[in-house]
Amino acid sequence: MSAPTVPKRRPKEGREQGSQELGLAFKRVFRTLNRLRGRDTHLGGAELSHAQFELLVELDERGELSAGELAAAARLAPGTVTQMLDHLAACGHVERVRSDIDRRVVVSRLTPEGRNKIEAKRRAWRERWEHALADLPPEDLRAATRVLQRLAEMLESKPSEQSARVSAGPPGASSQPSP
């Protein structure tokens, strides 16, 4: 007597289920990032919020910038960025000076203390990242990288009219996540 055979799943069903599960996980990541930004508004004076960290990273990577340039880069309102910069300057993380190119423009630049804050936060995130991924084999990490790259390309590209009418977001999502 032979062992009972397990019915094979049709590839389409497995793919559809996998795609739906990926869509739900993708939506969860976006929601978590949005909550991360929201809860950071209640941090104490010396702690950096996620949004403040993003501003400091922009200054670290691009050099001195005006509040308007920072607002555009961080996708925040200029008034919000100005308030954040005032706070970051008061904490010693940035200094605000007149531009050498156009004296009418005030630019912000990272201080050594600000650079140290960035490096400390990057180290902490790197440790959390490595801990979270420690048990995954390299091929899983490569597959995840390919999936995220493809999703980034999809989000950055202009959807065709047909796909815009048909799709309201990732499978399993009731609405498209906002990056």
Average pLDDT score over the chain: 82
Q: Identify the structural domains of the chain with CATH numbers, from first to last.
A: 17-155 (1.10.10.10)
Pairing of strands 94-98, 65-66: unpaired
Residue 117 pLDDT exceeds 80: yes
**Could you tell me which residues come within 8 angstroms of residue 23 by beta carbon, excluding any fewer than 6 positions away?**
169, 170, 171, 172, 173
Question: In the structure, what pLDDT confidence band is assigned to residue 158 with cuts at 50, 70 and 90?
Answer: confident
pLDDT of residue 34: 77
Residue 6 pLDDT exceeds 60: no
pLDDT of residue 178: 43
Q: What are the pLDDT digits (tens) for 63-110?
A: 999 999 999 988 889 999 999 999 999 999 999 999 888 889 899 999
Rounded Cα distance between 108 and 41, Å, is 21
pLDDT of residue 171: 54
pLDDT of residue 75: 85
> Do residues 76 and 51 lie in contact, with contact meaning Cβ atoms separated by under 8 Å?
yes
Taking phi over 0 as left and psi of -120 to 50 as alpha, with beta for the rest, 64 belongs to beta
Q: Which residue has the higher pLDDT, 136 or 170?
A: 136
| Both structure tokens of 150 | 């493809």
Mean pLDDT for the stretch of residues 13-38? 84
pLDDT of residue 91: 92
* Cα 178 from chain centre: 11
Q: What is the pTM of this model?
A: 0.64
SS3 for 133?
helix
Rounded Cα distance between 135 and 158, Å, is 37
Mean pLDDT for the stretch of residues 44-61? 83
